[in-house]
């Protein structure tokens, strides 16, 4: 553990003692052994609650209920609205029975549960309208209560939405006309197949194994030719073979997120960002993170920076002789890369030519819906789970992401699989999404505390080797990409790199979400982007004003970024000499 000059020796000793078990310190040194009882209890409880802290939920609901009791005007408003909704529903049903339903409540644009024409006939239109009115009322009831903390209000609203989504009429045979029609047409065969599929899913869930993956790294995806040129305890570094007679002088290091495997950026040949860059004369290096297990519980964020980013930069510089290196980070990899770049700038390390951040946040005050699962109570609960097993596993992380889009990823999927007998369509992105990784106890705890809860990077309080780092020390050109419908790294949060840095920033906003927005090769339909340069000394423009002013371009954003990258990468030269090593994709990406 690194000695930190800004922390008193007594606190350093307490922290070292607490980290022996991989847990974030929460007790005085003399009480650490007693704390194991509390941790074990919370870890056991986590198995019953899908790792959601019951204390966090209880506090949120208590905050909402107590303030609602102290708001008679709000109660009266809700009562009046309930009576009005009830009368509106009866009027709608009476008209629907006579073939004149009248004006309906429309679901949100992304809600496709009631799109089928069968839902527009009586009595099913009355069923769907009753549900939508109830959903609308509960949103009013759980939001806008005076005095409730914004976080607790968001949590209560979210939980109420999850409970309502679970009770939606589309989920049940008795209240779903589409499922009933399919069952009559197929003589119940769909229910038999759906039951067998549900049983197989249950068996895999109890065994802790996921569904079989159709696209495998090295066979169907991650097939761009390359060599593993460096390997340590945490990473394999892949160097991709040149595909042009000449390459740009400055190579490119790509740092992917470690929450998933790197080949999101090297999927099938037709949508591989790596292949796209190599075919345009870039020497591309890719970090492939190890899938950690219990033995890696003490790996820290500093290890990810040192064994990951810095070890890769040292290797690239030694192998290519390049004086300048472009770097690109995706999601958490971008956050780590920003930390590394700020540290290098502080130390006078001038090897970076440019910095690209793909859907990566450096300020966590507005981290999106993931903040629903992150507060002190929830983090303490997660730490107990990680303390017991040494890591946060794939199912525990996947559950949170599924809840954020429960209509699409949970209920609609179960409807298709179990009632309608419609299997998932195999594709490379879906297979990658199922090929998740674990995260070490210590690193994940540090990440949640220092970045999410305390936002130390944005406030210049993030400590590296005993001293704080500042994003304002970064003076190389920055290219930042946000995605319009990203719920993991909201684009307005990604946009904050502009006021937090002291350099020119090219900001690009692409259509799509966190994954599909990044995997956007030329030729894909319905893709667009906006982009503009913010000069180093230019006045700040808020994200909404920027979006209103920036021109809209149809198509993929890849060519715009590659053109910018080529300007940072220098003249064309002969490719560096090849380096011997195992063939890509290496071993770490194959770890289950």
93 is catalytic: no
Report d(CA 522, CA 515) in Å as an integer: 16
Residue that is written with structure tokens 């966090």 in the block: 56
d(CA 571, CA 246): 9
In whole angstroms, what separates CA 171 from the centre of its chain? 27
Residues 6+ apart with CB under 8 A from 384: 23, 38, 39, 40, 41, 42, 43, 46
- Is residue 510 within 8 Å of residue 557, measured between CB atoms? yes
Spatial distance between the Cα atoms of 387 and 37, rounded to a whole number of angstroms: 12
Distance (Å, whole) CA 257 – CA 432: 13
Q: Rounded to an integer, what distance in angstroms lies between the CA atom of residue 114 and that of residue 112?
A: 6
Q: Which residues contact 182 (CB under 8 A, 6 or more apart)?
A: 190, 419, 420, 421
| CA 586 – CA 203 distance, rounded (Å) | 31
- Cα–Cα distance between 24 and 516 in angstroms, integer? 34
Catalytic residue among 93, 328, 331, 441: 331
In whole angstroms, what is the distance from residue 282 CA to residue 322 CA?
Answer: 13
Report the C-alpha gap between 76 and 72 in whole angstroms. Answer: 6
d(CA 61, CA 445): 26
Count Cβ atoms within 10 A of the Cβ of residue 366 and give its class: 0-12 exposed, 13-18 middle, 19 or more buried.
exposed
DSSP secondary structure of 90-131: HHHHHHHHTT---S-PPPPTT--TT-SGGGGSTTHHHHHHHH
| CB of 418 closer than 8 Å to CB of 198 | yes
Nearest 5°: CA angle at 439, between 433 and 443?
140
Nearest to 145 by CA among 136, 156, 131: 156
The whole-angstrom separation of Cα 393 and Cα 440 is 9
Q: Dig out the tokens for 381 from the structure.
A: 């609960």
Enzyme catalytic residues: 331
């Amino acid at each position: 553990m690194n000695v930190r000059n800004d922390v008193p020796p007594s606190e350093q000793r307490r922290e070292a003692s607490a980290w022996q078990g991989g847990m974030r310190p929460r007790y005085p040194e003399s009480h650490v052994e007693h704390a194991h009882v509390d941790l074990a209890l919370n870890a056991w409880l986590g198995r019953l609650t899908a790792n959601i802290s019951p204390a966090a939920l209880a506090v949120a609901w208590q905050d909402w209920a107590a303030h609602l009791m102290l708001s008679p005007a709000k109660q009266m408003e809700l009562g009046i609205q309930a009576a009005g909704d009830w009368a509106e529903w009866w009027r709608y049903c009476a008209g629907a029975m006579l073939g004149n339903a009248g004006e309906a409540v429309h679901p949100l644009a992304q809600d496709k549960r009631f799109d089928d024409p069968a839902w527009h006939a009586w009595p099913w239109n009355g069923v769907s309208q009753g549900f939508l009115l109830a959903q609308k009322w509960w949103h009013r009831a759980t939001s806008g209560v005076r005095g409730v903390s914004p976080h607790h209000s968001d949590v209560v609203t979210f939980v109420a939405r999850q409970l309502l989504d679970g009770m939606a009429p589309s989920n049940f045979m008795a209240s779903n006309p589409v499922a009933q029609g399919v069952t009559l047409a197929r003589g119940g065969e769909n229910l038999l197949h759906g039951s067998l599929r549900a049983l197989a899913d249950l068996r895999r869930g109890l065994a802790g194994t996921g569904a079989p993956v159709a696209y495998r790294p090295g066979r169907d995806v991650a097939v761009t030719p390359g060599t593993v040129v460096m390997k340590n305890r945490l990473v394999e570094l892949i160097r991709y073979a040149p595909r042009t007679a000449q390459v740009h002088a400055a190579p490119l290091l790509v740092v992917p997120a470690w929450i998933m495997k790197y080949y999101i950026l090297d999927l099938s040949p037709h949508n591989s960002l790596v292949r796209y860059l190599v075919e345009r004369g870039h020497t591309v290096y890719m970090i492939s993170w190890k899938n950690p297990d219990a033995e890696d519980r003490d790996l820290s964020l500093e290890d990810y920076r040192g064994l990951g980013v810095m070890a890769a930069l040292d290797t690239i510089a030694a192998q290519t002789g390049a004086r300048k290196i472009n770097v690109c980070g995706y999601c958490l990899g971008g956050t780590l890369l920003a930390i590394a770049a700020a540290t290098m700038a502080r130390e006078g390390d001038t090897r970076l030519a440019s910095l690209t951040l793909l859907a990566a946040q450096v300020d966590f005050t507005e981290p999106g819906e993931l903040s629903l699962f992150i507060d002190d109570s929830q983090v303490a609960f997660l730490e107990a789970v990680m303390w017991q097993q040494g890591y946060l596993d794939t199912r525990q992380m996947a559950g949170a992401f599924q809840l954020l889009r429960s209509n699409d990823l949970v209920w609609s999927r179960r409807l298709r699989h179990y009632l309608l007998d419609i299997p998932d369509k195999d594709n490379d992105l879906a297979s990658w999404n199922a090929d998740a990784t674990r995260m070490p106890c210590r690193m994940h705890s540090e990440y949640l505390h220092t970045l999410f809860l305390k936002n130390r990077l944005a406030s210049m309080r993030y400590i590296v080797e005993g001293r704080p780092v500042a994003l304002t020390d970064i003076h190389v050109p920055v290219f930042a990409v946000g995605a319009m419908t990203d719920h993991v790294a909201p684009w307005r949060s990604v946009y904050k790199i502009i006021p937090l840095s002291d350099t020119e920033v090219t900001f690009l906003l692409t259509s799509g979400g966190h994954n599909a927005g990044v995997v956007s090769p030329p030729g894909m339909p319905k893709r667009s982007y906006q982009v503009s340069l913010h000069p180093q000394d230019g006045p700040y423009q808020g994200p909404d004003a920027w979006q209103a002013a920036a021109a809209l371009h149809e198509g993929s954003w890849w060519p715009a970024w590659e053109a910018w990258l080529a300007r940072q990468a220098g003249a064309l030269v002969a490719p560096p000499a090849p380096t011997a090593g195992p063939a890509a994709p290496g071993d770490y990406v194959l770890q289950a």
